[in-house]
Amino acid sequence: MRTKSEAIVCFISNLLPLYTHVQVEGQTCALSLLDGTTVAPLVDHDTGLSDDDAWVMVYWQGNPDRKSEVSATLFASHAVLRYIELRSAGLPADAFRNERDRLSEHFGHKTGASLYFAEGWVEPESAVRMKRWGAKVFGVLASVLAKHFGVS
């Protein structure tokens, strides 16, 4: 049975083409194809951390001397956002949000953990309608004024 940390690292390693699987000292790790950073599950029974804490060891640019223990869910949240940015480039914001929500649900199903996404401000539909209405009114007004003053 895999620990939560191992499940999260496995999930990250499936975010192709940003990450891939790599074996390091008998552990399945995630390797960043952008900069060589390696993410390994951290299962240390001496620290007293429960598996619910889910931590990973990040070897920056694959350098064993440059490492950090970080929250697995926070690291995964950043990885998933970058993955979605890559996949939804040029698409409407709704496509980004839908993919984010879908992957967040899939992450929860596969790992038993939750991703963290800061909630951005979403403009209310009433404000969007007012802007559209204002643009139409301004367009008509500008057209009438141009005809009145003979501007072509």
* Integer Cα distance of 38 and 25 in angstroms: 12
3-class state of residue 28 by DSSP: strand
How does pLDDT run across 109-144, given as a tens digit for each residue? Answer: 999 999 998 766 566 777 667 777 777 776 777 777
pTM of the complete model: 0.74
C-alpha–C-alpha distance, residues 99 and 105, integer Å: 10
- Residue pair 33/66 in contact (Cβ under 8 Å)? The answer is no
What pLDDT, on a 0 to 100 scale, did the predictor assign at position 89? 87
Strands (E), 48-150: 55-59, 67-71
Same domain, 41 and 104: yes
**pLDDT tens digit sequence for 12-56:** 999 999 999 999 989 999 999 999 999 999 976 555 555 567 999
Do residues 48 and 69 share a domain? yes
What range defines the domain where residue 76 resides? 4-111
Q: Is residue 116 part of a domain?
A: no
Do 131 and 93 share a structural domain? no
- Do 145 and 72 have their domain in common? no
Query: How confident is the model at residue 115, as a pLDDT?
Result: 94
Question: Is 76 in the same domain as 146?
Answer: no
For the chain, how many structural domains are there in total? Answer: 2
Considering only residues 89 and 128, tell me which one the structure prediction assigns the higher pLDDT: 89
Query: In this structure, are 52 and 10 located in the same domain?
Result: yes
Give the Cβ contact number of residue 151 at 10 Å. 8
Predicted confidence at residue 73, as pLDDT, reads: 95
